[in-house]
């Protein structure tokens, strides 16, 4: 009873209880309302057969056992999709996995995802739990569950990386490399090692980076194929290239009277990334020059924030990412909610913007549906969504840079404030 009465535990209890109740309602709805109809409540486009994304792995394994090379021809996949996963995933070609394993494996990955959601937060209050629920039961996250994408397992691995930091920096680095081998983008979460001393961080970062380069070099053909073969949507997506991908022809025609075709194509190809990197540089300068830093009450929540924010920032820079990866933003929520309670107005506002843009971005799929019913322009909706995503990108980047340890600021003494930086008031 004392444990339940603790403010820090009530939030976790509320999170677990509400999650189990909502999933019970979803399962009942599957039975009585219908599988596809239930997903439509979130305006999630259903792809059949169920857990279609995961089916690419057992389907490719079946093709391989039949003598096909699934990166060229893949009759085992329900939709004949070409195998586009990194080299690591070929280990399943020798495991005996089949399409019949899809349901239980995908269900297990969903369970692991929510186990990670329950495990990582510290000092969780009931409002914090409510904000997390808005993320994990948003249309973006529901898309992740409906497709059974392996990012479900990657999320659980990211939580293990965050929690490992409480015990061993070396083990944290090992798990980071495991994540990078499995799907590369978890390496963005190397920022979790910022909780370590300067010397330890530099050694671990250098070692991990060299190993990553060696892995990419050895498996370059697989990495290149994964990059080239992965579908990049212009809807249900976020990233620097979304507007260019969707409106390339219109933008090209608008610029045709001013620039040559080669210049236009180069601008469209690299312009958004250059803009994003320029914004990142400007945000870094302002954050490092700040005279106050946001206070941290939980090292684990801070590590989770760095993991979730770094993955969003890194994948945003890559160009086009399916919206289901927004589910990783649940990692930033507990720390943002703690900063919302700060007495420092600047970080209170920035944390509020962060929470708001996370939720709006995660719920865009269903909000756009109802706004379409109100005859709101589709172009306006898409541009609005991208504006929100860019605001979130800048907001998270500032908070990541502003919360770096003192030894990082010391490396940039020439732009850091003359007086020592102090933590914001609680």
Q: What is the pLDDT of residue 65?
A: 95
Quick check: 213 pLDDT over 90? Answer: yes
C-alpha distances in Å from residue 14, one per residue of 86, 125, 131, 133, 352:
38, 9, 11, 10, 22
Does 228 have pLDDT greater than 90? no
Cα 343 to Cα 294: distance, rounded to the nearest angstrom: 10
DSSP state of 192: G
Report how far residue 156's alpha carbon sits from residue 267's, in angstroms, rounded to the nearest whole number.
38
Question: What's the token pair of residue 140?
Answer: 């973006």
Query: What is the distance between the alpha carbons of residues 115 and 96, in angstroms, rounded to a whole number?
Result: 27
Domain residue spans of the chain: 2-423
Tokens of 17: 């209880």
CB 30 within 8 A of CB 145: no
pLDDT of residue 5: 46
Per 3-state DSSP, what percentage of the chain is helix, strand, and coil (rounded to 5)? Answer: 75, 0, 25
Structure tokens at 80: 């004949």
pLDDT at 221: 81
pLDDT digits (tens, 9 = 90+) for 104-150: 999 999 999 999 999 999 999 999 999 999 999 999 999 999 999 99
- CA gap 199, 369 in Å, rounded: 51
Strands 237-238 and 321-322: antiparallel
pLDDT score of 4: 44
Q: Is the pLDDT higher at 329 or at 386?
A: 329
Of 70, 123, 138, 111, the residue nearest 296 (C-alpha): 123
Find residue 238's DSSP bridge partners: 321
Q: Share the mean pLDDT of the chain.
A: 90
Separation of alpha carbons 412 and 98, rounded Å: 54
Identify the band that residue 372 occupies on the pLDDT scale cut at 50, 70 and 90.
Answer: low
248-282: pLDDT as tens digits: 878 888 888 788 888 888 888 889 999 999 999 99
Give the CA distances from residue 22 to residues 99, 142, 152, 254, 425, in Å, rounded to whole numbers and listed in that order.
Answer: 28, 12, 18, 48, 37
Token output for 350: 């920035």
Q: What is the DSSP string of 265-286?
A: HHHHHHHHHHHHHHHHHHHHHH
Q: Is the pTM of this model over 0.85?
A: yes
Which has the closest alpha carbon to 267: 284, 285, 280, 254? Answer: 254
Region 292-313: mean pLDDT is 95
Residue 68 has, within 13 A of its CA and on its CB side, a CA count of: 18
DSSP 258: T
Residue 376 in tokens: 């709101």
What is the sign, positive or negative, of the torsion defined by CA atoms of 235, 241, 243, 248? Answer: negative
By C-alpha distance, which of 331, 341, 336 is closest to 351? 336
């Amino acid at each position: 009873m004392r444990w339940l009465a603790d403010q820090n535990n009530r939030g976790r209890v509320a999170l677990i209880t509400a999650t189990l109740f909502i999933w019970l309602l979803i399962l009942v709805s599957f039975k009585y309302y219908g599988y596809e109809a239930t997903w439509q409540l979130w305006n999630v486009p259903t792809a059949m057969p169920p857990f279609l994304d995961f089916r690419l792995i057992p389907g490719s394994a079946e093709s391989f056992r039949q003598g096909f090379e699934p990166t060229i021809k893949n009759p085992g996949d329900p939709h004949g999709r070409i195998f586009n996963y990194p080299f690591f995933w070929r280990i399943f070609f020798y495991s005996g996995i089949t399409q019949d394993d899809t349901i239980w494996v995908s269900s297990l990955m969903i369970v692991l995802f929510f186990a990670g959601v329950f495990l990582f937060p510290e000092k969780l209050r009931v409002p914090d739990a409510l904000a997390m629920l808005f993320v994990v039961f948003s249309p973006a996250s529901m898309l992740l569950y409906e497709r059974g994408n392996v990012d479900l397992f990657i999320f659980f691995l990211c939580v293990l990386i965050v929690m490992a930091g409480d015990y061993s920096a070396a083990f944290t680095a090992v798990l980071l490399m495991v994540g990078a081998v499995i799907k590369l983008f978890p390496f963005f979460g190397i920022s979790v090692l910022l909780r370590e001393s300067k010397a330890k961080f530099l050694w671990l970062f250098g070692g991990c980076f060299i190993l990553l380069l060696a892995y990419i070099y050895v498996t370059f053909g697989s990495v290149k194929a994964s990059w080239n073969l992965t579908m990049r949507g212009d809807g249900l997506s976020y990233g620097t290239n979304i507007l260019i991908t969707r409106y390339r022809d219109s933008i090209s025609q608008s610029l045709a009277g001013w620039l040559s075709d080669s210049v236009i194509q180069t601008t469209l190809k690299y312009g958004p990334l250059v803009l994003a990197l320029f914004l990142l540089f400007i945000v870094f300068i302002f954050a490092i020059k700040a005279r106050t830093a946001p206070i941290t009450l939980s090292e684990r929540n801070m590590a989770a924030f760095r993991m979730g924010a770094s993955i969003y920032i890194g994948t945003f820079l890559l160009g086009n990412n399916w919206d289901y990866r927004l589910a990783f933003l649940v990692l930033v929520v507990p720390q943002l909610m703690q900063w919302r309670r700060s007495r420092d107005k600047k970080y209170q506002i920035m944390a509020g913007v962060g929470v708001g843009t996370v939720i709006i971005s995660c719920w865009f799929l269903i909000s756009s549906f109802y706004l379409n019913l109100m005859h709101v322009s589709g172009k306006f909706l898409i541009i609005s969504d991208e504006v929100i995503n860019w605001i979130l990108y800048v907001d998270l980047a500032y908070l990541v840079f502003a919360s770096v340890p003192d030894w990082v600021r010391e490396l940039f003494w020439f732009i850091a404030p003359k007086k020592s930086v102090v933590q914001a008031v609680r």
